[in-house]
Amino acid sequence: MGACATEAGTEGYKERHRGKVPAEHFRSSRDLWMSSIGLGSYLGDIDEETDERLRAAVFRCVEAGVNVLDTAISYRIQRAERTIGRAIVELLAAGKVTREELIVCSKAGYLTYEAEIPRNGPAYFQTAYYGPGILRPEQVVGGIHSLAPRFLEDQLERSRKNLCVETIDFYFLHNPETQLREIDMATFLSRLEAAFQCLEQAARDGKIQWYGTAGWDAFRKPVNQPGYLSLTQVLGMARRVGGDQHHFRAVQVPLSLMMPEAFAVANQIVEGDSLTLVDAAKELGLTLMAASSLGQGELGGPEAEKLMKPKIPGLDTHAQKSLQFVRSIPGVSTALVGLKLRRHVDETLALVAKPPMHAAELRKYYKF
């Protein structure tokens, strides 16, 4: 199996889909061609039926022009990663795609079980993490979240095995601001720097290509509000740790009609200018992936009508209209959406076959 996504591989994937999807569906970032919609894998029951639905969704999406696959070790307690890994192996064996064409993303930060919910959760964590010395209690926030380097190393090895890949293309620290529930900002930044050092070594070892943060609200908060993070400050930390050739190259943030702050609020300072997070990421050369593009499903229904014009040409469903908003924002590399049910896959792939909107059209059809 090839090690990772490459410029030549993803460009070849784009060219193979020429005429099947609009050219604007693919965006170049980090020298990779990324589909404007990516397959997410967060929600779902812990059962084999959901596994099979996700596996089928991966197959259909990859065949139809979606080459960004996003997951986390904690999603469905490792079952999401394992199902995507199985699908990747089967896709490669069937000659449907090459490893170099796929952009595989995962995350670590939350302690998780292994495929089944144990009868005694604390006993499981004791056996899996505390007993072997992978974690110490003082390194864990809320009994569930850690940025400790040895823990991240352990999680990365598990994720590589689950996903059946040598190298994970984008590896994210999962909601790192969770730490701020129990520690102060100075301690948090110290832990974040240690995590960056760990991930820089993982990149040098070829276990990941790039790393970043997949947060919830830290980059979206108003300046000076408790818990606010500056993208420039975080990038500067990566430069101190890894030098000019550092591997901090991506951020993943919620971005939707319900949560438009990353696009609508100028809360990031870059060289004295106030920019939105989307524009700041673009200015700083970072890949930005939009998470929770459908508000974890809420924007797939009538709730979305309050946030958009009644009719948008060429789009039939609330989910399509909501996703179109996110994927059309200049600077968004990919809009992630969780897909398992066949009708949701059909709905999304119908949108893939349509071009994104021009930036000027966003304010014409959407309210934010």
Dist CA 35 CA 265 (whole Å):
25
Mean pLDDT value of segment 324-347:
95
**Cross-strand pairs, 288:** 251
Predicted confidence (pLDDT) per residue in 213-224, tens digit? 999 999 999 998
pLDDT greater than 50 at residue 34: yes
Query: Which candidate, 255, 258, 234, places its Cα nearest to that of 328?
Result: 255
- Give yes or no for residue 2 having a pLDDT over 70: no
Count CB-CB contacts under 10 A for residue 322: 29
Average confidence (pLDDT) over 71-81: 98
Q: Encode pLDDT of 229-279 as tens digits.
A: 999 999 999 999 999 999 999 999 999 999 999 999 999 999 999 999 999
For residues 30 and 37, the answer to whether their CB atoms sit within 8 Å is: no
Residue 286, beta-bridge partner list: none
Residue-averaged pLDDT of the chain? 95
pLDDT band at 1 (very low <50, low <70, confident <90, very high): very low
pLDDT band with cut points at 50, 70 and 90 for residue 4: very high
How many helices and strands (H and E) does the chain possess? 12, 12
Q: Which residues, listed in sequence order, are joined to residue 208 by a DSSP beta bridge?
A: 168
pLDDT digits (tens, 9 = 90+) for 117-126: 998 989 999 9
Report pLDDT digits (tens) over 11-20: 999 999 999 9
pLDDT at 15: 97
Q: What percent of the chain has pLDDT over 90?
A: 89
Choose among 117, 102, 105: nearest CA to 65: 102
pTM here is 0.96
Question: Token pair for residue 361?
Answer: 């059209």
Domains detected in the chain: 7-365 (3.20.20.100)
Per DSSP (E only), the strands in 99-230 are: 103-108, 168-174, 208-214
**Weakest-pLDDT range from 93-97, 120-124, 181-185:** 120-124
Residue 349's contacts (CB-CB under 8 Å, 6 or more residues apart) are: 60, 61, 64, 65, 66
